Amino acid sequence: MKSSAEMTHAASILGLKEWGTIRMEDLTKHIDIGVHDHEKGVTQPVRFDIEVLVASHVEFEDDIQNVLDYEYLENSVQAVLSESRAELQETIARRILDRVLEPKAALAATVSLTKIEVMGFESDLGCTMVRVKHNG
């Protein structure tokens, strides 16, 4: 997730003149996921990448109280993974979007999941889900 094109587009939709993002990249968890019988009950490495759009304030002070704490991104992933098993990466991505968009300061988010070392494939397989909060 080296590009913020989705978040730039979201900022444009929201009419922001100044914004920033926070992100978590390359978090790998071994999880039980998949629709095929050979995947059920077996953990697979999945990479999580999350980016959250936040409004930027002109009068900024160097204080943790003035920003959205990055730690909640990894905590959101962990909370979702502790819930019921999901067969689809898209299901997990949507659940993570629900959590990372809970704080008022979070205006939009993109969540990418990538299965690494997929049996029967020579490539990684993944999905990206993007959501912009509704105003009002």
What is the average pLDDT across 75-85?
Answer: 94
Structure tokens at 19: 């914004």
CA angle (50, 52, 55) in 5-degree steps: 165
Domains and their CATH numbers in the chain:
5-132 (3.30.1130.10)
Torsion sign, CA atoms 37, 41, 47, 48 = positive
Are 129 and 110 within 8 A, CB to CB? yes
User: Helix or strand or coil: residue 109?
Assistant: strand
Structure tokens at 117: 């070392």
Query: Is the per-residue pLDDT at 1 higher than 50?
Result: no
Output b/e per residue, 12-51; b: 16+ Cβ within 10 A: eeeebeebbbbbbeeeebebebbeeeebeeeebebbbbbb
Find the DSSP H helices in 1-129: 5-14, 71-81, 89-100
Supply the pLDDT for residue 62: 63
Query: Is the per-residue pLDDT at 30 higher than 90?
Result: yes
User: Helix or strand or coil: residue 96?
Assistant: helix
Are 109 and 131 within 8 A, CB to CB? yes
The pTM is what? 0.86
Q: How confident is the model at residue 75 (pLDDT cuts 50, 70, 90)?
A: very high
Supply the pLDDT for residue 4: 74
